[in-house]
């Protein structure tokens, strides 16, 4: 069995959890903002960690007062936090790339 098939089969039970982590509004917002403000690529690791942990904390706080979209997190142990940290890192990379692209474009634009 090729490696990608084994990886896909191993992640099948976590599919909904991965999708939920990628599109968690708190992870997206914090990841994009911190990536946008980062001035070095190395800071994106901390931005991803902060976005993932903040998203996890807010999700569990909302779940405690019964207004959360997040169900089944306790079944998977810490996987929900891990996937949110990875998603936070990816969103911070997107924010960093957009900010650098805008800065480079502004630097290249002719002065009027």
Q: What is the pLDDT of residues 33-56, one digit of tens each?
A: 999 999 898 999 999 999 999 988
Query: Is the full-model pTM beyond 0.75?
Result: yes
Question: Is residue 74 included in any domain, yes or no?
Answer: yes
pLDDT of residue 66: 78
Query: Does 109 fall in a domain?
Result: no
Domain that residue 85 falls in: 26-104
Looking at residue 103, what is its pLDDT? 81
Phi, psi of 77 (to 5 degrees): 65, -130
**87 has pLDDT over 90:** yes
19 domain-assigned = no
Q: What is the pLDDT of residue 69?
A: 62
In a domain, residue 20? The reply is: no
Predicted confidence band of residue 89 (pLDDT cuts 50, 70, 90): very high
Pick the closest to residue 101 from 34, 36, 29 (CA basis): 36
């Amino acid at each position: 069995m090729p490696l990608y098939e084994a990886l896909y089969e191993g992640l099948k039970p976590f599919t909904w959890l991965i999708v939920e982590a990628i599109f968690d509004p708190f992870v997206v917002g914090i990841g994009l903002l911190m990536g946008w403000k980062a001035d070095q690529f190395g800071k994106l690791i901390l931005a991803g960690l902060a976005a993932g942990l903040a998203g996890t904390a807010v999700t569990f706080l909302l779940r405690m007062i019964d207004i959360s979209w997040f169900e089944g997190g306790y079944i998977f142990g810490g996987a929900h936090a891990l996937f949110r940290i990875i998603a936070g890192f990816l969103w911070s990379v997107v924010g960093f790339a957009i900010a650098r692209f805008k800065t480079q474009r502004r630097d290249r634009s002719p002065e009027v």
